[in-house]
Structure 1
Amino acid sequence: MKQIIITLLLLQSMICTVSAQNARFPTEGVIEFERNTNMYAVIGKHMRADNTFGQKFFEQFKKTNPQFKILKSTLYFSKDKTLFKPEEDQSVSNSYLSSGPDLNQINTTYTELNQLIQTSRKKVFEENFIVKDTVRKINWKITNETREIAGYQCRRANAIVLDSIYVVAFYTDQIPVSGGPESFNGLPGMILGVALPHDNISWFAKSVTDKSVEASVIMPPTKGKLTDNKGMVKIVNEALKDWGEDAKSYLKWLLL
């Protein structure tokens, strides 16, 4: 019996060793993400108690639109570069209530991880801007919580960005590229999930394809007025100077 147990243990050890040797840790590939937004919760936060006119529009919106809005995007990665590109929104809504930057994907983001430079195309109303600046430094706190996302074992990390946005991220060291969706990065592996629990929005990977990506695919966006983060803040503040608190919310999501 002892010999059988020893033999089984040796076989299990050999299988684990072979599996580890054959495991791939891709540094190039394509990740498909889905962004999930609780429309009723996000729009509800914009409504003021004394805004009877807006409340009527909101009630009508809830009758004609689903509670959750799913938007698709693609993250291309190759060693020290990533490109996050949102897909065109196929949902139909003619309500002004669903037009804000917190309810849509307005950023195409290219990141040079070694140089710590990020170039994003941001759509502000009907105008495009190219915002080039250093990568935001995020002070992540890694936890022991884990979960599986798109077939990869991921570890949880928490952070606060832009002074007030609580972020929960899940990254995998099985993809040794310090990237992620939108402008989220800076963890010891690829971020496959991001949740903003207080803001009712999340991004989670649905599939990861391990394949070579041509250099011509991962390129910084063009076609827009060039500026940096400070310039973007100035432009938006001037454009929305009469918006009051709504201007702060708009700017927050624009910079995210």
Structure 2
Amino acid sequence: MKNLLITFIASLFCSSLFAQANAHFTTTGTVEYEKRVNMYAIIKKRLGNDEGGFASQAFENYKKTQPQFKSLKSTLTFTGNKTLFTPIPPAETSNNWFGDIPESKQQNVIYTDLNTNVATASKEVFEEKFLLKDTVRKINWKITDETREIAGYNCRRANAVIMDSVYVVAFYSDEIPLSGGPESFTGLPGMILGLALPHDNITWFATKVTDMPVAENQMKVPVKGKATTYKGFEATMKKVMKDWGTWGQSYLKIFLL
């Protein structure tokens, strides 16, 4: 009986070593994301008590011609513990009254060096470009036991609150052992393949992960824009939008993500 138990334990140990030896980890390649924005929900909250006003009438017309969810594409190229988030320009530009709200756009190109913990972001705000270079945002994630599969990868859920009030839900995979993610979201023990801002009606989910070598010249650091830091950018935005009321507060939150 004792020999049988020893044999069984040895078998389990060998099986574990074999599984680890044959586990596949993606360390270089590209993640393709789809950003989905619930435009109806965002516009309704933005209008507030404007019942029957011009904006409400415009919203009713918008719902007759536009889908509830807007879809946007982006890529995250990664190699050597560095990531480059790049939006893909939409095939069609919006020409309706609500087409310029910042939630409905992707105007950030972000290069993150996880070795030095420094991010360089090119942000476009109302046709003006800013170039932010600063330390990577620290996010106090709380990892849970919830799991799901995204783009063929096993992912675990983590939750966080950033900027004092923005609730974030992320799903990361340690099968891609880089602490990266879409936009400026990082800090988990694996790549973020799913991200949601539930109270802000926005999600990013990976649709495809391509495991392939990435050349160094593909990882280009943004260089265009007015040079500043995150705090400098925040101060500028607050000054510009100080008299914009609730719309300004909503815009500010999205620009600072």
- Asked if TM exceeds 0.5, the reply is yes
Alignment partners' CA distance in 2, 1:232 and 1:11: 58
- Alpha-carbon distance between aligned partners in 1 of 2:127 and 2:78, rounded to the nearest angstrom: 29
- Of 46-55 and 36-45, the range deviating more from structure 2: 46-55
Residue 246 of structure 2 corresponds to which residue in structure 1? 245
Aligned to 1:221: 222
Q: Which amino acid aligns with 1:236?
A: M
- TM-score, structure 2 as length reference: 0.90
Q: Secondary structure at the match of 2:104?
A: coil
* TM-fit CA distance, 1:191: 0.6
How far apart are the structure 2 equivalents of 1:96 and 1:81? 38
Question: 1:45 maps to what in 2?
Answer: 45
Structure 1 equivalent of residue 194 of structure 2: 193
Task: Give me the identity figure in percent.
Answer: 54
Aligned partners of 1:179 and 1:186 also within 8 Å: yes
Unaligned stretches of 5+ residues in structure 1: 1-9
Asked if structure 2 preserves the Cα contact closer than 8 Å seen for 1:65 and 1:93, the reply is no
What SS does the aligned partner of 2:49 have? coil
Secondary structure at 1:168 match in 2 = strand
What is the CA distance between 1:106 and its match in structure 2? 1.4
C-alpha distance in 2, partners of 1:58/1:155?
Answer: 38
8 A contact 1:158–1:167 mirrored in 2: yes
Q: Which residue is equivalent to 1:32?
A: 32
Shift of 1:244: 1.8
* Rounded Cα–Cα distance in structure 2 between residues aligned with 1:115 and 1:16: 34
Counterpart position of 2:120: 119
CA distance in 2, matches of 1:81, 1:106: 20
Partner Cα separation in structure 1 for residue 32 and residue 76 of structure 2: 6
Distance 2:147 2:80 in 1: 25
Counterpart-to-counterpart distance in 2, 1:14 and 1:183: 41
The equivalent residue for 2:163 is 162
Give 5+ residue unaligned stretches, structure 2: 1-9
SS in 2 for 1:216: helix
Q: Distance in 1 between matches of 2:137 and 2:242?
A: 26
* 8 Å contact from structure 2 (residues 145, 157) kept in 1: yes
Structure 1 segments (4+ residues) deviating >3 Å: 10-20
Match of 1:108 in 2: 109
- Check whether the contact 1:30–1:209 (CA below 8 A) recurs between aligned residues: yes
Deviates most, 59-68 or 232-241: 232-241
1:1-256 paired onto structure 2 within 5 Å: 20-50=20-50, 52-256=53-257
Higher alpha-carbon deviation: 158-167 or 211-220 = 211-220
Measured in 1, the distance between the counterparts of 2:221 and 2:37 equals 27
Contact 2:30 2:78 in 1 (8 A): yes
Pairwise CA distance, 1:241: 3.0
Is the contact between residue 76 and residue 84 of structure 2 (CA under 8 Å) also seen in structure 1? yes
Length-normalised TM-score, structure 1 = 0.91
Alpha carbons 2:180, 2:192 under 8 Å: kept: yes
Task: State the alpha-carbon separation in 2 of the partners of residues 240 and 11 from structure 1.
Answer: 65
Distance 1:91 1:147 in 2: 33
Cα distance, 1:11 vs. partner? 10
Give the total of aligned pairs: 247
CA drift of 1:30 comes to 0.5
